Structure 1
């Protein structure tokens, strides 16, 4: 019986996983320079966490969640996004009591959404995200945007565009909500069922509809920017001024609303303009969520964050033809001749690895010539050849595979000699 991988998932094999590891190092190293610390939350949470905080009107909650009932008759959901779980942890662990505010966190792990699989989009995908909780300073908005742009630049992307908008505070959103209802209500019957149900629940989400994006009313819908009160307008202007000071180009798009209910004030997306990337160009999305912490039972602690799919980032890198210089060469391959020499290389290999030398030996009982071919396949810098005569004389032959130079050295000096030669390369 053959069992295949579930639809919408993928195996990340050696040869590809190294690209993932490199991206993860880039992202985590940049987070470290910005003083963001890693947080790890459960892969599943109580379903209510996402229903109440992501929003019942969102596609995620209505159509895409993997939800199941456990043996205790509790409804649990595989996490479809990271922010709700991080904020839950922030509240539950009383991180708002930390004297160092805002609390700056990042996460990296699998998320799950039941959606139609396509290039760069999977039902199980890896999301890297950042959350800064505890500050309503527009400068932290600019810092979060600067951080993610630094990640993309360090990954080698050039054809990217930052798009920003303001969703305003509660007062601004309420005024805009009423204007949207008045605008769409007369012809709402021409829109899809989802939009019709959103009219009263959350009319802002109509602007995010993919089915009706070409409808004439979409083009003339009231702009949130026309309904910002003085505080919201000033806040958004500050964010823009900081981005300009940081030399981060951006475009304002008043139709950008994002797909989650908890956003307010700053909202943003980063798009790829690389040829061949695909019809869906969004790489990253995020925004401010000032009421989410209190909604979960915590204090009135404002927050902002972003998340991006690692799969989408890798697809953008491929679309731009970014070439990475990787060094996967092995430091030393041990070739043995004879049974005693082969047995001795077990400990010798261990000793090399203890000193941080990337080393390997033969496990297939191959002849010497085949062992050298194996060393070539793994691009070994050095090959150390040990025969039974050399073992009795406490010597070993060391060959530099780049220059072809060979030398016989004391066996107990192999590690120190290799360390010096590798450092010199």
Structure 2
């Protein structure tokens, strides 16, 4: 069953490319990291990317369940079971798991009979162990992966919440089993306490925790079901917890091979004003009066105004954003027709919502960058002008299918806001 589950991700990416009429090259990078190919598509819809990512997460969940079941039957290989849900590593982990010897040669390993006295009540000590182990694992993962290695990838956003569920449920169920509802509640509580600890320790802001919550909760609950199942077999002697030792290695590997997804955004607006009036509005340096909307309320960076220092190709442009200043250089200058500039340095991509003045979250700088922005003015019949803004961006956070729609939405929202402001200014003649 592992073979078709492994092929789901490749099939899903191939179908997405087919849907958009793009050519997919099945090279070595595709077979090792297939999901990175999504970032190379020009403009997939958020719905298509979400459906693809959902299908892949479900296939990974089934693969993880099979792998832990196989490890439990062998009483070893739990680290390999965790690696089976990580791109690239899974290509090695799954075949090795298939070769492990089965502990009992006559079929499935049967769970030991649970004494009647242990089937009643709740072992508070083991429940607390599971709760605090899950919370500690979240904080430790952020400290090692994000703060130490600067890695934001599958290890932190997929493997860590999955292992929180496994560890919490296993510790809580290893002596007096809880029912599935109690286990899910405990895993959710561990995840919530972990998020609260990140906020109180100034390791993350509220917005990022909220954005990640749906993915993390789903993975943690899947891990909780698997951890409870392993605990009920009563034969692993805490070996599933040894898989946590694999986390730092994964973080180090991701730091050495960071993801990079190119994102292109383009928006247009028709303006009832001639091109010279639109050009004057573009180069005036006046404040952007349009409200930032949800982008601003979420703490994401949005432009306030742009000031040109000189004119022509090579001139410097200072972009004032809600999070700081961007320094840009003009690369194309055709008055009334085209204006393009390349970002030389830019401010943080967001401002974290936190009770503290400073949050130790490296992802606010360098993980979402803008390259070149290009404005094109096209005359329309009747004296109007169509203004188009196209921008290129780079996203360096995995899983790309989860974060790419959010990054694309934020970039497009900022472009639409700028266009709406320029339309207002040009049509009013100021």
Query: TM bucket by the smaller chain?
Result: under 0.3
Structure with the larger RCO, 1 or 2 (CA within 8 Å, 6+ apart): 2
Q: If the length of structure 2 is used for normalisation, what is the TM-score?
A: 0.22
Q: Which has the higher strand share?
A: 1
Q: Which has the higher helix share?
A: 2
